[in-house]
Amino acid sequence: MMKKVYVFSLLMYVMTTHILSAAEDKRQLVKLPEMMQSHMMSNMRDHLVAINEILLNMENGELDKAAEIAESRLGMSSLESHGAAHMAGFMPQAMRQAGTTMHKAASRFALKLQEGDVLQAYRSLSAVTSACVACHAAYRIR
Ligand code: HEC
């Protein structure tokens, strides 16, 4: 009986520590000045809005509109309006790289849309969202 209780508590212990470590936030904190923080977060929200608008346009066969949104709001053309050069100075190298990967993937995606190849376009859209996910998994700003 004692042995059973012992095994049970050991099991509970292992399970709880496992759950706790899964919940632990391992993302690296990147400190940005307050103004830049809110600027970045509003850019981020616009990224998600843009992806949603792109998908809606794709659904309606409006590939050129989708391409325009992808290039101007997520692609290489969006860098200036996002103040990317200014922000980059505050970011670790790997985070900057993740940003560049995302912008380049978005520009490639816009090209696929312009070429009118929907299946290829969907494939290259997941390269964009994978870049979002990779950066989110590694960094936080607050
Ligand atoms: C270079 C890194 C990086 C890339 C690339 C990136 N993000 Fe983010 N994003 C962040 C960070 C850091 C935060 C803040 C997380 C935190 O501090 O909790 C964030 C936050 C967000 C938020 C929350 C905004 C809020 O107000 O709460 C959304 C939505 C978001 N990102 C969408 C996206 C989408 C969609 C993409 C891809 C198109 C993307 N992000 C690409 C780094 C990135």
Provide mean pLDDT across the span 42-48.
97
Q: Is the CB of 69 within 6 Å of ligand 1?
A: no
Cα maximum dimension of the chain: 71
Ligand 1 center–CA 20 separation, angstroms: 24
Per-residue confidence band for 82, with pLDDT thresholds at 50, 70 and 90: confident
What's the confidence (pLDDT) of residue 80?
83
Whether pLDDT at 55 is above 90? yes
- Kindly list the structural domains of the chain, giving each domain's residue range(s) and its CATH number in brackets, ordered by start: 28-140 (1.20.120)
Ligand 1 center–CA 132 separation, angstroms: 7
- Please work out, in degrees rounded to the nearest 5, the angle formed at the alpha carbon of residue 105 by the alpha carbons of 101 and 107: 120
Could you tell me if 46 and 22 are in contact, meaning their C-beta atoms sit under 8 angstroms apart? no
